[in-house]
């Protein structure tokens, strides 16, 4: 049995990834504030175990306990691989720096950066004695490497997530049973996050029209296709410890 802990599998890319991983010998452990009924229905049809842990990842101090509940579902003796995909994320606040609400900045960093960091801490602690394949995939963005006007929080959190993954890799690489870590920018995907981006104010986000144009010219990738590519990367020999890549450069 392979176990997949996936944050943000209720919709968007996370749901597409979870759909791609539905197999009889897979067990999906999904974290989000709501469930995907479609995913549960498809999972039942494919005889794949899916558990949803309804949890707000902004509540940083409960994440280690949440991970404890998740790992109680994992039979390490029977596991042929344990995987964590830090996918859940938000784009807001979309504002110039001086217009950002302090609470919104704090919330953004807790969801996009602190939560993946603490899930990683818990993952490493809970798999210390596990000798099989252990991989963490962080869902990043081109915004990790390029500053965008109006996206100071998003760019900062994604850049931080990439660097965090590299630090984890540095610590793990000489362990007897290392956890491998990688970051991937998934391309521009037709999800609720893109709807929020297109709905932002031109004054706050000066690239808004470019994103409207990408949608109108059919250039957004479906969550299903993006999910398949991410699933392939996660399980294949293309997974390279310590690297940050853009999926569009690979597949
Ligand atoms: N869409 C793109 O073009 C694009 C491009 C580059 C990178 N990405 C990255 O891809 C990832 C997925 O984005 P998406 O486009 O699929 O966005 P989305 O459709 O808005 O989905 C976001 C997911 O994150 C979960 N989430 C958000 N806040 C949460 C919280 N406080 N607690 C728990 N779960 C939370 C949501 O679940 P609930 O609402 O049920 O809690 C949902 O499942 C993000 O990391 C994003 O930065 C997306």
Please tell me the distance from the alpha carbon of residue 30 to that of residue 5, in angstroms, as a whole number.
6
112 within a domain of the structure (yes/no)? yes
Q: SS3 for 147-174, per residue? A: CCCCEHHHHHHHHHHHHHHHHHHHHHCC
- How much is the pLDDT for 188? 98
Ligand 1 centroid from CA 10, angstroms: 9
* CA angle 204–184–51, rounded 5-degree value: 95
- How much is the pLDDT for 102? 98
Mutate to test the pocket of ligand 1, among 191, 211, 230 (most ligand atoms within 8 A of CB): 191
192 within a domain of the structure (yes/no)? no
Query: Which residues are 7's β-sheet partners?
Result: 31
3 assigned to active site: no
Indicate which residue's Cα is closest to atom 39 of ligand 1.
33
Catalytic residue among 148, 154, 164, 251: 154
Could you tell me if 13 and 189 are in contact, meaning their C-beta atoms sit under 8 angstroms apart? yes
Please tell me the distance from the alpha carbon of residue 124 to that of residue 129, in angstroms, as a whole number.
10
Rounded percentage of the chain residues whose pLDDT exceeds 70: 100
Query: Which residues are 136's β-sheet partners?
Result: 84, 181
35 within a domain of the structure (yes/no)? yes
Query: Which residues are 1's β-sheet partners?
Result: none
Indicate which residue's Cα is closest to atom 17 of ligand 1.
193
Please tell me the distance from the alpha carbon of residue 232 to that of residue 95, in angstroms, as a whole number.
35
Q: What is the DSSP letter of 190?
A: -
- How much is the pLDDT for 107? 98
Q: How many structural domains compose the chain?
A: 1
214 within a domain of the structure (yes/no)? no
152 within a domain of the structure (yes/no)? yes
Residues with Cβ within 6 A of ligand 1?
Answer: 8, 10-14, 32-34, 56-58, 87-90, 111, 139, 141, 186, 188-189, 191-194
Q: What's the whole-number mean pLDDT along residues 119-145?
A: 98
Rounded percentage of the chain residues whose pLDDT exceeds 90: 100
Q: What's the whole-number mean pLDDT along residues 14-43?
A: 98
Indicate which residue's Cα is closest to atom 25 of ligand 1.
8
**Tokens 């956890």, residue?**
179
Output the average pLDDT for the chain: 98
pLDDT band per the 50, 70, 90 thresholds, residue 133: very high
Ligand 1 centroid from CA 239, angstroms: 22
Query: In degrees rounded to 5, what are phi and psi of residue 21?
Result: -100, 5
For residue 137, the domain's CATH number is: 3.40.50.720
Mutate to test the pocket of ligand 1, among 56, 70, 89, 183 (most ligand atoms within 8 A of CB): 89
Indicate which residue's Cα is closest to atom 14 of ligand 1.
12
**Tokens 């949608």, residue?**
215
Which residues have a Cβ under 8 Å from the Cβ of 47 and sit 6 or more positions away?
24
- How much is the pLDDT for 158? 98
Range of the domain at 232: 2-187+222-249
155 within a domain of the structure (yes/no)? yes
Long-range Cβ pairs for the range 15-18 (8 Å, 24+): 15/39, 15/223, 15/227, 16/189, 16/222, 16/223, 16/224, 16/225, 16/226, 16/227, 16/228, 16/230, 17/85, 17/87, 17/226, 17/227, 17/230, 17/231, 18/50, 18/227
- How much is the pLDDT for 21? 98
Q: What's the whole-number mean pLDDT along residues 69-80?
A: 98
194 within a domain of the structure (yes/no)? no
212 within a domain of the structure (yes/no)? no
pLDDT digits (tens, 9 = 90+) for 145-172: 999 999 999 999 999 999 999 999 999 9
Cβ density class 9-29: b for 16+ within 10 Å, e for less? bbbbbbbbbbbbbbeeebbbb
């Amino acid at each position: 049995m392979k176990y997949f802990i996936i944050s943000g599998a209720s919709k968007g890319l996370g749901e597409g990834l979870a759909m791609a991983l539905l197999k009889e010998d897979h067990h999906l452990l999904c974290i989000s504030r709501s469930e995907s009924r479609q995913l549960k229905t498809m999972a039942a049809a494919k005889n794949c175990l899916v558990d949803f842990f309804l949890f707000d990842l902004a509540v940083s101090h409960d994440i280690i306990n949440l991970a404890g509940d998740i790992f109680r579902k994992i039979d390490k003796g029977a596991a042929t691989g344990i995987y964590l995909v830090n996918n859940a994320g938000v784009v807001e606040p979309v504002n110039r720096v001086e217009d950002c609400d302090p609470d919104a900045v704090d919330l953004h960093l807790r969801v996009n950066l602190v939560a993946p960091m603490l899930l990683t801490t818990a993952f490493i602690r809970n798999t210390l004695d596990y000798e099989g394949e252990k991989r963490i995939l962080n869902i990043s963005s081109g915004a990790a490497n390029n500053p965008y006007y109006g996206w100071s929080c998003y760019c900062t959190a994604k850049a931080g997530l990439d660097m965090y993954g590299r630090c984890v890799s540095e610590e793990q690489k000489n362990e007897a049973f290392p956890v491998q870590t990688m970051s991937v920018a998934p391309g521009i995907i037709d999800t609720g996050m893109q709807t929020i981006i297109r709905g932002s104010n031109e004054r706050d986000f000066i690239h808004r029209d470019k994103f409207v144009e990408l949608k109108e010219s059919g250039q957004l990738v479906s969550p299903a296709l993006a999910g398949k590519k991410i699933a392939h990367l996660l399980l294949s020999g293309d997974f390279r410890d310590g690297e940050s890549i853009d999926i569009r450069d690979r597949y």
